[in-house]
Amino acid sequence: MLRTVQKGVPVNDQLQLLIALQKVDTTILAAIRQVEVLPARLGNHESAFRNAESECSRAERVLADSAEKKRGKEREISEAKDRSAKLKARTSEIKKSTEYQANLAEVERAEAGVSNLEAALALILADAETARQTVAAQKARIEQEQSALVIVRQEIAAEAASKNDEIKRLKSERKKIVQQLESEVNNQYMNLMRMHRGVAVTEAKDAVCQGCNLHIPPQLYVEIKSGYAIETCPECRRILYHIRLEGNGLSAVSVVSEPTAAD
């Protein structure tokens, strides 16, 4: 038979308070972690923005270099063409056949030289075009990332403000709970919080400590289930509680006692 304990009236109010305190602290810690990771979200956009900027300036340098190269190559082509034209002009004045042959060969070489220079110029122009396209694309990306940064900064600020409000509210909730805790119990809780990185109170589920997975000895489990006193795990020292099935499913922490072997 179930012990009839008025719902909401804990058998051990200190245990009940500890469970509530752990719940609040877990929520506070999660909210703090969420605030802590917010700037990282900004970091991703900032690095995308910086990448776009450096890609853009690299392409701009390539573009400037190719303009310089283009001018140089055009000068070379014009000089080579002049040379070729002069050689051709000389052809009609040459009378000796050997000299004529030699001049023809020189004209051919000069013309080949012009072709080579023109091919080199075409490559420079193609590189310049690629660089121009890169600059345009990266400028668009910079603009995009800049707008994204503005939006993300606003989102982060709003989210941080809302989380900080939540933390503030939870801290005042926490304060009210701590005020009702016996100082010795509070000390025990705080020591466990430090020792176990934020988890001092945990569930004993199916006779297993959910903090360290220790299989709880039967007699201790019976006591935990009764909820009469603050019981701790023999292994990790965490404070243990038991959730019992109520009606259609899991609910309220079982400080409302169940029939046990002790009854």
The site for Zn ion (CB under 5 A) is made up of 209, 211-212, 214, 233, 235-236
Nearer to Zn ion, 214 or 243 (CB): 214
Complex with Zn ion: residue 209 or 255, whichever CB lies closer: 209
Residue 234 Cβ, how far from Zn ion at the closest point, in Å?
Answer: 8
Q: Please, what is the minimum distance in Å from the beta carbon of residue 238 to Zn ion?
A: 5
For residue 12, the minimal CB distance to Zn ion (Å) is: 19
- Which structure tokens are listed for 195? 């020792």
Q: Closest distance between Zn ion and the C-beta of residue 237, in Å? A: 7
Q: Which is nearer to Zn ion, 38 or 214 (CB)?
A: 214
DSSP the chain: ------TT--SSHHHHHHHHHHHHHHHHHHHHHHHHHHHHHHHHHHHHHHHHHHHHHHHHHHHHHHHHHHHHHHHHHHHHHHHHHHHHHHHTT--SHHHHHHHHHHHHHHHHHHHHHHHHHHHHHHHHHHHHHHHHHHHHHHHHHHHHHHHHHHHHHHHHHHHHHHHHHHHHHHHHHHHHS-HHHHHHHHHHHHHTTT--EEEEETTEETTT-PBPPHHHHHHHHHTSS-EE-TTT--EEE-EEEETTEEEEETTS----TT-
Closest Cα to residue 228, out of 242, 212, 246? 242
Q: How far is the CB of 170 from Zn ion (least distance, A)?
A: 26
What is the smallest separation between the CB atom of 47 and Zn ion, expressed in angstroms? 42
Report the residue number, 84 or 202, with the smaller CB distance to Zn ion.
202
Contact present, 202 and 240 (Cβ < 8 Å): yes
Nearer to Zn ion, 120 or 243 (CB): 243
Cβ nearer to Zn ion, comparing 178 with 208: 208
Q: Between residues 104 and 199, which has the closer beta carbon with respect to Zn ion?
A: 199
Work out how close the CB of 211 gets to Zn ion at its nearest, in angstroms, rounded to a whole number. 4
